[in-house]
């Protein structure tokens, strides 16, 4: 069994790195697990614990559904939190609405469902996780740090491939290992 997910690798640009460093510095005393900038990605589908044989099937589905889809791009902009500022779980950078990105998610998800994968039924909400909040002492400081960038454009991301990753959980944060990339 391996914990796997399908994602788009994002190489953070200068504006994103500045935002990340600023938010991290402003919230340095809070209990937040920060994403390593080298691991920044946009999750298309999280599959979780998956048997080796099923991983092979997922690879075939990705090959079939990515080949010929065509390259796409999206804009990385804005910041916020999931659940809310009183009970935050995740600090994120946003993705401007992209029909092609939504189509790619739907195509991959449908391909996986057709081969028996159980996919979460919640709506695809594209974002980049930058930190997982364990606790914050003052929600207003969190709100001030995150809201500074709520309307900021960071970069355009050009997408040529989708990656199947294994997520290896470690005490100091997850390690992501590519198990294959699939050209669009």
**Of 170 and 99, more confident:** 99
The distance between the two most distant Cα atoms of the chain, rounded to a whole number of Å, is 49
Catalytic residue, chosen from 127, 129, 142, 159, is 127
- The three-state DSSP-derived secondary structure of 98-125 is CHHHHHHHHHHHHHHHHCCCCCCCCCCC
The CA distance from 171 to 177, in Å, is 16
| Residue 53 pLDDT level (bands cut at 50, 70, 90) | very high
127 in catalytic set: yes
Does residue 167 come out as left (phi exceeding 0), alpha (psi in the -120 to 50 range) or beta?
Answer: beta
Helix axes 52-66, 99-114, angle to 10 degrees: 140
Q: Is the pLDDT of residue 50 over 80?
A: yes
183 in catalytic set: no
| Residue 105 pLDDT level (bands cut at 50, 70, 90) | very high
Q: Is the pLDDT of residue 173 over 90?
A: no
Per residue in 28-45, pLDDT tens? 899 999 999 999 999 999
Q: Is the pLDDT of residue 170 over 90?
A: no
Catalytic residue, chosen from 41, 89, 100, 148, is 41
- pLDDT reported for residue 101: 97
The CA distance from 49 to 168, in Å, is 11
Domain ranges of the chain: 2-183
Q: Which CATH number fits domain 2-183: 3.30.565.10, 3.90.1140.10, 3.40.1000.10, 3.30.470.20?
A: 3.90.1140.10
Burial of 112 (0-12, 13-18, 19+ CB in 10 A): buried
């Amino acid at each position: 069994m391996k914990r796997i997910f399908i994602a788009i690798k994002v190489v953070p640009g200068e504006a994103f790195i500045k935002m990340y460093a600023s938010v991290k510095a402003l919230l340095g005393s809070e209990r937040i697990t920060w994403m390593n900038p080298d691991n920044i990605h946009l999750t298309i589908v999280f599959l979780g614990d998956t048997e080796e044989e099923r991983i092979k099937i997922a690879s075939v589905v990705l090959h079939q559904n990515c080949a010929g889809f065509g390259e796409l791009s999206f804009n990385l902009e804005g910041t916020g939190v999931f659940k809310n500022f009183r009970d935050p779980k995740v600090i994120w950078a946003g993705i401007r609405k992209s029909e092609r990105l939504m189509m790619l998610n739907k195509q991959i998800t449908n391909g996986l469902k057709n081969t028996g994968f159980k996919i979460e039924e919640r709506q695809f909400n594209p974002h980049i996780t930058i930190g997982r909040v364990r606790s914050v002492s003052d929600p207003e400081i969190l709100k001030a740090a995150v809201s500074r960038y709520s309307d900021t454009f960071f970069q355009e991301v050009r997408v040529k491939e989708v990656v199947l990753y294994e997520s290896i959980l470690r005490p100091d944060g997850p390690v992501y290992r590519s198990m294959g990339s699939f050209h669009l």
